[in-house]
Amino acid sequence: MNRLIISGIISVFWVTSMFAQGPPIFTETPILLGLDGGGIRTFGRFISKENATIYVQPIGIPYNIGSKTQIGTVLRFINKNPNGILAQSGIGDLIFFAKRQLFQKDGKGKTFRLIAKLDQVLPTAKTNTTPSIGSNSWQSQLSLVAGYVTLKYGLYGQVGYNVTTNNLPDNIIYNLGFVYPLLPQKYPPNQLNMNIGINGNFFTDINSNTILASGGIQWITSKTVLFETGLQIPIVEEVPDVQKTNYVLSFGTRILIF
């Protein structure tokens, strides 16, 4: 069951990557553009494991304070369905996040940006069920996110450290993403983007490493609406066989309202 909690920790940070304001799907972006206000974003994740299935449906509300700072919160509905045990559902731990741009270098049709990102998880979800919906742990993650984006491709990287309480293992996250547009760039956008990458988690206290290979596709239908879906499969997973992940299927939308 602890593994389910650890899966929850991992999903927290995969889920927050939905705040990318464009590509990529599974890695954070340093580009704090495209919102200039508020929007609602969803990014459902169906996680198939050997001993359980987990469904996470978040709604994120980001808000830009100027062009270099963004804050936001994430509400999540979580359903955990372990093999042989009754499924449990509920509202997950509350997440707040803040991003601050540290560096920006622009050219014609290209940009390099670097941001710092802080994710704060509050243990607000219920923990009196089996399996538990909440992590019962305060978690703070500080990460650096860099990206080099041109009209022809986007290359993104993220590395961060997640501090946890209540005897949960701390972890280092490391993500890489590559985005390739399949259609000519134009404005207003009507774009298909191919996404590939890796998503890694190294649990420092237990020396356990997990790396998922990620692939997905985005369809940007207009200035304000984006659909995306992707599949992640483990290529390194240092856990007992019964706890292994089969795949993670994701699908979501990003809709800018204001």
Partner 1 sequence: MKNKNSSISIKVLVLLLFVATSLNLEASNLKTVNDDSKTYIKIWVDGMACPFCAYGLEKKIKKIDSSGDFFVEINEGYISFSVKSDKIPSEEDLKKTVKEAGFFARKIETSDKPFKPIINE
Query: Which residues contribute to the site for partner 1 (CB under 8 A)?
Result: 21-23, 31-37, 66-68, 104, 106-111, 149-151, 154, 184-189, 191, 220, 223-224, 226, 256
In the complex with partner 1, which residue's Cβ is closer, 106 or 241?
106
- 169 cis-preceded (ω within 30 degrees of 0): no
In the complex with partner 1, which residue's Cβ is closer, 6 or 256?
256
Q: Minimal distance in Å, beta carbon 85 to partner 1?
A: 42
In the complex with partner 1, which residue's Cβ is closer, 81 or 224?
224
- What b/e readout covers 172-202, taking b as 16+ CB neighbours within 10 angstroms? bbbbbbbbebeeeeeeebebebbbbbbbbbb
Q: Minimal distance in Å, beta carbon 223 to partner 1?
A: 4
First to last CA, the chain: 41
Q: Minimal distance in Å, beta carbon 150 to partner 1?
A: 6
Q: Minimal distance in Å, beta carbon 229 to partner 1?
A: 17
In the complex with partner 1, which residue's Cβ is closer, 23 or 131?
23
HEC assignment per residue over 56-82: EEEEEEEEEECCCEEEEEEEEEEEEEE
Partners of 256 in the β-ladder: 39
CB of 188 within 8 A of CB of 211?
Answer: no
Q: Minimal distance in Å, beta carbon 232 to partner 1?
A: 23
Residue 95, CA atoms < 13 Å, CB-side half-sphere: 32
Q: Minimal distance in Å, beta carbon 256 to partner 1?
A: 7
In the complex with partner 1, which residue's Cβ is closer, 71 or 75?
71
d(CA 132, CA 122): 15
In the complex with partner 1, which residue's Cβ is closer, 70 or 201?
70
